[in-house]
Amino acid sequence: MSLTNKLRQAAEPIWSAILRHPFVSELYKGVLSMDKFRYYLLQDFNYLVGFVKALAAAAVKAPYLDGMRLAVELAHGELTTELASYEVMLAELGLSLKDAQAARPNPTNVAYMNFLSTTCLLGTYGQCLAALLPCFWTYQEIAETHAAELEGNPVPIYKKWASTYLSPEYKALVRELRATLDGLGEDFEALKGPFLTASAYELMFWDAAYRGETWPA
């Protein structure tokens, strides 16, 4: 069994909860409240900014040029393609880039971004990739699990958003990340903690979006 398969197996209870979370299932069915999706987009836009910073740290930690290239290309893709597509979706919902930048990251979002930054700055390259991988990989599994429901989704923006994670390009990206982590030869126990923690934060992020999490004051 590959290293990433072992990590996925260890995280099964968390990933199972992600796959059946009401935010996810309602979005793919097209019955999710648009207010909840709008809240999610604003939070995720801010999360992606922190994610890019973690990828930049990963590039610094990479022990070889191919690893550095992967991290830099991912960071560039998030800054250009991903954030640009979010800007378009925000506009479709009557929101602007200024609205997204002004939105205060919720407590779960802040904690998740801090975890990624700390892991990538203080951990090994492998630990950084292990912390970053669940974000990419869970979105693919979510899309594959709920693909049949997406076919009949009546909400165009939900179908457009979700279809990204079923594309051949996205699946190839996840495969490359997994292959890179598998090829590092790092110890499973050293990577298990970051992978499980990031997986838990993915679940918490969906839940925070569903609840519309706010700060106490």
Residues forming the active site: 135, 202
Terminal-residue alpha carbon distance, the chain: 48
Per-position b or e across 189-200, b if 16+ CB within 10 A of its CB: eebbebbbbbbb
How many residues comprise the chain? 217
Distance CA 59, CA 25 (A): 35
Among 66, 55, 183, which Cα is nearest to 119's? 55
d(CA 124, CA 21): 32
Which residue type, as a one-letter code, is found at position 29?
A: K
Q: What is the DSSP code (8-state) at residue 82?
A: I
- Specify whether the CB–CB gap between 75 and 135 falls below 8 A: no
Comparing CA positions, the residue from 190, 177, 80, 79 lying closest to residue 132 is 177
Compute the distance between CA of residue 190 and CA of residue 178 in angstroms, rounded to an integer: 16
How far is it, in rounded angstroms, from Cα 131 to Cα 213? 23
